[in-house]
Structure 1
Amino acid sequence: MSFQERAIRFRCQQEWLYGILHIPQQPVARGVLIVVGGPQYRAGSHRQFVLLARHLTGRGIPVMRFDFRGIGDSDGEMRTFEQVGEDLRSAADCFFSECPFLKDIVIWGLCDAASAALFYAHQDQRVSGLVLLNPWVRTEQGIARAYLKHYYLERLFDPEFWKKLLRGKFNPLASIRSLYAFGRNSLQGMKSAVAEGSSGSSCGLSAPLPERMLDGLKHFQGNVQIITSGNDLTAREFLDLIALSPEWQAAMRARQAECFHMASANHTFSTREWRDQVAELTAKQVLSW
C-alpha cells in the first residue's frame, strides 16, 4: 500500500514540537500515536519507531511519531515521563487536525513511555486503546526482587558461574553482601505492598509509581495490549508486580488486557524477527475493533 511521510510541527504552550506523519493512501479511521521513551527521539532505538510506523502504514493505519519538548528537534526543556501530559495532548490535537478522518487513536509506548501513556490515556476520550511494551514500574524494592529472582538464583544454574568460582575469578563475599541487600529491600517492599493494599489510600503524586499506573489503568475504558520481553529486567519487574498484586490482576481482567510474552526478546526488541512480531501484534490489535 502506498503512503506519504511528511514532517510536521505544532505548538505545546510556547514551544514548537516536531514530528513525522505517516498517512496511507486509503487510511482507516484509527491512528497510532507512537510515544518516545527515555532519552530517545522519534526514530527510536535501531530505527524501531520508523520501521514500526511504516509497517502499520502498510496495513492502512495512519501513524504519528514526535519528539517531546527538550528531545530531538523539539524546543524547550527536557522533561521526565511523568511530566509529558501536555505534550501528549498537543500531539493528539495535531494528529486529529492533520488527519480529520480520524475517529480515535491508540497510544503505543515502550518502557517509561508506556507509563506516560497510562497516566494520560484516561484523560482523553479520543484514546481508544493502548499498546504497552515492557512498562516501567521501577521501585527500589521491585528491582531488588527482580535481581534476586531472575539474576542471582538463575546464576546458580549457570555453568560459567561455577567455572569462575573455581578459578578464583569470583568474589563470593561481595556477592553475599549484595544478595543480602537485595533480599532486605525485597522483603521491605513486600511489607510496604501489604500496608498500601490494606490502607485504601488515594492515589496522589506522592504515591509509588506502580500505584499511580494502576490508577490510570483502572480509569481507562479502552482496549489494552501488553507485550513483554523475557530477556529484560524491566519486563520481569513488571511481571513480578502483576503476580504479587491482586489489584493489578483484577484491573487487567477488567480491561480484558491481551498479554504477549516474547521469551527470547530483549528490552527494545532489537532483532528484525522480534521487531516484526511486535509490529504485526500491534497492527492486529489496532484493527481488531
Structure 2
Amino acid sequence: MREFLSFACEGDTIAATIDRPQGVPRAALLIVSGGNELRSGAHRGMAMLAQRLAAQGMAVLRFDRRGVGDSTGDNRGFDASGPDIAAALVQLRAACPPGTPIAAFGNCDAASALALHGPFAGIDALVLANPWVIDEAAPAKGDGDDTPLPSAAAIRARYRAKLKDPSEWLRLLRGGVDLGKLARGLLRARSGDVPSALASRLGAAMTRSTIPTQILLAERDRTAIEFEAAWTSHAFAAARANAKLSLHRLDSASHSFAREDDTAWLDQRLIEALTRSP
C-alpha cells in the first residue's frame, strides 16, 4: 500500500511517500535520494525498490529533500540535508510500531550525507552505496582546458579498460583522441592522490560509527573507484579498523545498480541490514 504525505522541516514542507506491507511491518527502511534526484529515483528505481521491500514485509519511506521535487524551500545540497533526514526519520518511526528495526540507505552523496550527519536517533543500521568523496574540483591548469580531471585512481581504471578495447586503439590511430588531454591524464595517472577534504570528513565520521554499516561499491563505477582510492588512504585508516563497518564489492559499472543481477544483490544487502538490526 502506497501513501503520500508531507511534513515540516525548519519552516519548509517536505513531500514523501511511504510503502507499507500487508499487516504489521517487521522492519523499516528510510531511503535518502542522491544528488538532486526525486524520491522516485532514476528510472523509478527507488520507487520499485520500495515496492519490492514492502512486499517482503518492510515499511519504506522516501522523500524529496528541501528545494527538490515536490518539497518547498531552497536546495542547499547533501551537506545541509541533516535536518531533512532527521525529520523524515521521525515520520517513519511514527508509522511503525515501537521497537521496529529501522535502517537507512543512500547512494552517492546521499550515502555521504547519512555518514556525515549521523548517528540519527532510532536508526539501527546504515547501507551506504558508492559514497561520494569528491570535493568541488579546481580546474586543471596548463593547456587552456578548464575541465577538472578525475583522481589518479579513476584515470588508471579508465585507461585499463580502454587498453582492453580494440576500438579505442583504432580511434587513437585515426586521430580521434585529444592528445593534450591524454598527456594530462597520463601525468595525473602517475601521481598519487591526496585525500579530499570531504574524504577526510567521511573517514572521521565512519570511524565514529557505532551501528552496523555496510558500504556497497559497484567496482567499475567512477564514484566507487574514487571511494576505493580514498578508503585505502590514511584518511580512512581508523575507519578501516572499525568492526561496525563492512565493505561489499559488486562487479558492475552501474552506479544505481540498475541491471537485474545488480538489483537482486542490492535487495539482498538491504534485507540483510534490516533483518540483522536489533
Aligned-partner residue type, residue 53 of structure 2: L
* Equivalent position of 1:201 in the other structure: none
1:209 alignment partner, one of 198, 219, 225: 198
* Equivalent position of 1:286 in the other structure: 274
Q: Is the 8 A contact 2:209 2:244 kept in 1?
A: no
Q: Is the 8 A contact 1:229 1:262 kept in 2?
A: yes
Identity, % of aligned positions: 29
Aligned-partner residue type, residue 160 of structure 1: S
Q: How does 1:110-125 map to 2 (within 5 A)?
A: 110-122=107-119, 124-125=120-121
Aligned-partner residue type, residue 221 of structure 1: T
Instruction: Tell me the alpha carbon deviations over residues 82-109 of structure 1, each in whole angstroms, 9 at most, x when there is no partner.
Output: 0011111111111122324354421100
Q: Is the 8 A contact 1:229 1:263 kept in 2?
A: yes
Q: How does 1:163-178 map to 2 (within 5 A)?
A: 163-178=170-185
Q: Is the 8 A contact 1:221 1:255 kept in 2?
A: no
Question: Whole-Å Cα distance in 2 between the matches of residues 45 and 259 of structure 1?
Answer: 24
1:69 alignment partner, one of 66, 84, 87: 66
Question: Whole-Å Cα distance in 1 between the matches of residues 126 and 113 of structure 2?
Answer: 11
TM-score (norm 1): 0.84
Larger helix proportion of the pair: 1
SS state of the match for residue 276, structure 2? coil
Aligned-partner residue type, residue 236 of structure 1: I
* TM-fit CA distance, 1:244: 2.7
* Equivalent position of 2:167 in the other structure: 160
Question: Whole-Å Cα distance in 1 between the matches of residues 237 and 270 of structure 2?
Answer: 22
* Equivalent position of 2:98 in the other structure: 101
* Equivalent position of 1:179 in the other structure: 186
* Equivalent position of 1:53 in the other structure: 50
TM-score (norm 2): 0.87
Q: Is the 8 A contact 2:203 2:238 kept in 1?
A: no
In the alignment, does 2:267 pair up with 1:266? no
Question: Whole-Å Cα distance in 2 between the matches of residues 171 and 68 of structure 1?
Answer: 39
Question: Whole-Å Cα distance in 1 between the matches of residues 253 and 99 of structure 2?
Answer: 33
Q: Is the 8 A contact 1:29 1:101 kept in 2?
A: no
Question: Whole-Å Cα distance in 1 between the matches of residues 178 and 39 of structure 2?
Answer: 43
Unaligned residue ranges in structure 1 (runs of 5+): 194-206
Question: Whole-Å Cα distance in 1 between the matches of residues 184 and 240 of structure 2?
Answer: 37
* Equivalent position of 2:155 in the other structure: 148
Question: Whole-Å Cα distance in 2 between the matches of residues 96 and 256 of structure 1?
Answer: 23
* TM-fit CA distance, 1:213: 1.1
In the alignment, does 2:217 pair up with 1:228? yes
In the alignment, does 2:91 pair up with 1:91? no
2:3 alignment partner, one of 6, 20, 28: 6
1:133 alignment partner, one of 120, 129, 132: 129
Judging changes above 3 Å, is the alpha-carbon distance between structure 1 residues 174 and 7 closer, same or farther for their aligned structure 2 residues? closer
SS state of the match for residue 27, structure 1? coil
Q: Is the 8 A contact 2:41 2:47 kept in 1?
A: yes
Question: Whole-Å Cα distance in 1 between the matches of residues 245 and 24 of structure 2?
Answer: 26
Unaligned residue ranges in structure 2 (runs of 5+): 139-148
Question: Whole-Å Cα distance in 1 between the matches of residues 170 and 46 of structure 2?
Answer: 41
Aligned-partner residue type, residue 165 of structure 2: D
* TM-fit CA distance, 1:57: 1.3
Question: Whole-Å Cα distance in 2 between the matches of residues 76 and 280 of structure 1?
Answer: 35
Aligned-partner residue type, residue 218 of structure 2: S
CA RMSD of aligned residues (A): 2.3
Runs of 4+ in 1 over 4 A off after TM superposition: none
Aligned length: 266
* Equivalent position of 2:22 in the other structure: 25
